[in-house]
């Protein structure tokens, strides 16, 4: 280990969050789109949706969140040995976002930083995180910090999916002796080939979507990962007499393309428990009629699937409220951030529960990216007394999130559509000066000023006095 002791309690020591200054009300968007009242707000569980103007791109989001992470936590840039980026927002087929971020380390002279971009829909951030953990736990580790940047801009073509957009960036410092520790040996993964959501048109930001297939793939992947995580949990805890179940989990957070899917996911975990434990199903009276249905068979008939889903949601309401509802706060108010979505759910949990409700608790995370890649893993919050002070400081660093959400600028739906049309028109343009005002940004936000004749992009930092 190059003179360094073998690292223990590897996890998250600092967190920074960035989300767009612009947002649109989902309630107003329902009226503007002419859909039934409650379709977005009740049906999908959304309140507001953040979005970016033409002066923000994936580079600017990542520059902002890493700059603020370094500044707020007084991190010496020389002490960073790995920088990983997870994103599916691609603006260059060759040059990585990570290389753009290296300008933040230029003054320090630190060019010795490993890591690069990782891409697979909403799973790229999880893969980047795993890469950072693996580096610290490997013989390549040199004792310095790892930073993981997870960011995306989620926009859709006009139509039924547009209301499920969003955007944002989250950055973590990963290091040993952390207050949020990744549970060793507790990763479960499921991957397969499917076209449920993909972006084959390089000239457009918009994806191709099969919505029904995507939900089925999400829940099927959840089945596989939940089963495999349960096996690893039971092995780690040497459980012999009792099966793993959702009762073994303190909190559970999910990738959240829309908030209602979290409630359905908790219900699906309960259905997994029901199917595995047929001899002791008295707690699930509403599911008794489905005693002979397997997990795979539940997907074969759309009517049967919906009936099971409703029954599962109904009998898991209390579990959902206790274990997952506190995690949907950012998703409700920002929308689907793609790769940062899962980690926004973790952060929402941290800012919505008290210190006493969090210390010593295990949080299980389910990551899903279309195409598809998925994993379930867990963290333990403040596992010992020595990290209590650092855990409290980490929570304090997140205390401004709700204030920042309230201070955003609301954009009317007609202007929202106009800004998305502008983004669509200038996507991949050269010799372009951005139109949206840098005054419409939070202070200390990097923004795109122009793209030159060679497609090179140039950025400044807002201070809310720009003309």
Residues 296-315 have pLDDT tens digits of 999 999 999 999 999 999 99
- Which token pair is 73? 């936590």
pLDDT at 5: 63
Q: Do 47 and 15 lie in a common domain?
A: yes
Q: Do 352 and 308 lie in a common domain?
A: yes
Q: Do 367 and 267 lie in a common domain?
A: yes
Average pLDDT over residues 48-75: 97
Q: Do 127 and 252 lie in a common domain?
A: no
Q: How far apart are CA 51 and CA 335, in angstroms?
A: 9
Mean pLDDT of the chain: 94
Q: How far apart are CA 261 and CA 258, in angstroms?
A: 6
pLDDT at 279: 56
Is the backbone peptide bond immediately before 438 cis, with ω within 30 degrees of 0? no
Q: Percentage of the chain with pLDDT > 90?
A: 89
Catalytic residues: 88, 122, 255
Q: Do 116 and 230 lie in a common domain?
A: no
- Which token pair is 6? 């073998």
Per residue in 100-129, pLDDT (tens digit) is: 999 999 999 999 999 999 999 999 999 999
pLDDT at 384: 86
Average pLDDT over residues 145-170: 96
Average pLDDT over residues 67-89: 98
pLDDT at 278: 65
Place of tokens 């990290």: 387
Q: Which of 351, 385, 419 is the last residue of a domain?
A: 385
Q: Evaluate if residue 282 carries a pLDDT over 70.
A: no
Query: Does residue 393 lie in a domain region?
Result: no
11 closest CA partner among 396, 362, 357, 373: 362
Instruction: Specify the pTM.
Output: 0.95
pLDDT at 466: 44
Query: Does residue 160 lie in a domain region?
Result: yes
Which CATH number characterizes residue 223's domain?
Answer: 3.40.47.10
Query: Does residue 397 lie in a domain region?
Result: no
Q: Do 153 and 43 lie in a common domain?
A: yes
Q: Do 301 and 321 lie in a common domain?
A: yes
Query: Does residue 4 lie in a domain region?
Result: no
DSSP states of 5-54: PPP-S-EEEEEEEE--SEEEEHHHHHHHHTPPTTIIIIIS---EEEE--T
Partners of 198 in beta bridges? 208
Q: Do 141 and 280 lie in a common domain?
A: no
Query: Does residue 56 lie in a domain region?
Result: yes
Q: Do 377 and 430 lie in a common domain?
A: no
Per the structure, the complete domain to which residue 287 belongs is given by: 188-385
Q: How confident is the model at residue 237 (pLDDT cuts 50, 70, 90)?
A: confident
Q: Which of 385, 416, 432 is the last residue of a domain?
A: 385
- Which token pair is 125? 């951030």
Q: Residue 241 gets which letter from DSSP?
A: S
pLDDT at 281: 62
Q: Do 277 and 408 lie in a common domain?
A: no
Q: How confident is the model at residue 467 (pLDDT cuts 50, 70, 90)?
A: very low
Helix (H/G/I), strand (E/B), else coil: 357:
helix
Average pLDDT over residues 198-218: 93
Q: Which helix (H) or strand (E) holds 85?
A: strand 80-86
Query: Does residue 431 lie in a domain region?
Result: yes
Per residue in 262-276, pLDDT (tens digit) is: 999 999 999 999 998
Q: Do 310 and 337 lie in a common domain?
A: yes
Q: How confident is the model at residue 243 (pLDDT cuts 50, 70, 90)?
A: confident
Q: Do 222 and 126 lie in a common domain?
A: no
Average pLDDT over residues 233-258: 85
Domain count, the chain: 2
Query: Does residue 395 lie in a domain region?
Result: no
Q: Which of 357, 385, 413 is the last residue of a domain?
A: 385
Query: Does residue 396 lie in a domain region?
Result: no
Q: How far apart are CA 460 and CA 117, in angstroms?
A: 23
């Amino acid at each position: 280990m190059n003179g360094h002791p073998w690292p223990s309690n590897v996890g998250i020591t600092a967190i920074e969050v960035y989300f767009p200054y612009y947002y649109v009300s989902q309630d107003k968007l329902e009226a503007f789109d002419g859909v039934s009242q409650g379709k977005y707000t009740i049906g999908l569980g959304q309140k507001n949706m953040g979005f970016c103007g033409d002066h923000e791109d994936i580079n600017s989001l990542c520059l902002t969140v890493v700059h603020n992470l370094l500044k707020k936590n007084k991190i010496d840039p020389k002490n960073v040995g790995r920088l990983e980026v997870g994103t599916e927002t691609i603006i260059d087929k060759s040059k990585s976002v990570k290389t753009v971020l290296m300008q933040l380390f230029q003054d320090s002279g630190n060019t010795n930083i490993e890591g690069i971009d990782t891409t697979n829909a909403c799973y790229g951030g999880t893969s980047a995180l795993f890469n950072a953990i693996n580096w610290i736990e490997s013989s390549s580790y040199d004792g310095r910090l790892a930073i993981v940047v997870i960011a995306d801009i989620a926009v859709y073509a006009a139509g039924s999916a547009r209301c499920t957009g969003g955007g944002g960036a989250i950055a973590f410092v990963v290091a040993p002796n952390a207050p949020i520790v990744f549970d060793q040996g507790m990763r479960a993964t499921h991957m397969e080939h499917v076209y449920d959501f993909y972006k084959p048109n390089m000239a457009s930001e918009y994806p191709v979507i099969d919505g029904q297939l995507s939900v089925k793939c999400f829940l099927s992947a959840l089945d596989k990962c939940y089963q495999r995580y349960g096996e690893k949990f039971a092995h780690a805890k040497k459980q012999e007499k009792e099966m793993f179940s959702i009762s073994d989990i303190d909190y559970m957070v999910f990738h959240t393309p829309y908030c209602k899917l979290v409630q359905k996911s908790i219900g699906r975990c309960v259905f997994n428990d029901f199917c595995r434990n047929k001899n002791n199903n008295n707690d699930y009276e509403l599911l008794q009629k489905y005693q002979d249905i397997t997990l795979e068979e539940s997907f074969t008939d759309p009517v049967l699937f919906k009936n099971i889903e409703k029954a599962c949601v109904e009998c898991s309401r209390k579990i959902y409220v206790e274990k997952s509802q506190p995690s949907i706060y950012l998703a409700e108010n920002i929308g689907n951030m793609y790769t940062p979505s899962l980690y926004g759910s973790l952060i929402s949990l941290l800012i919505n529960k008290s210190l006493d409700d969090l210390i010593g608790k295990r949080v299980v995370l389910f990551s899903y990216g279309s195409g598809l890649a998925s994993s379930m893993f867990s963290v333990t919050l403040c596992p010992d007394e020595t990290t209590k002070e650092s855990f409290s400081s980490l929570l304090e660093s997140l205390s401004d999130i709700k204030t920042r959400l309230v201070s955003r600028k609301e954009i009317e739906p007609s202007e929202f559509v106009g800004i998305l049309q502008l983004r669509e028109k200038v996507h991949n343009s050269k010799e372009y000066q951005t139109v949206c005002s840098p005054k419409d940004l939070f202070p200390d936000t990097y923004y795109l000023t122009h793209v030159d004749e060679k497609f090179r992009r140039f950025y400044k930092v807002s201070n809310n006095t720009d003309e």
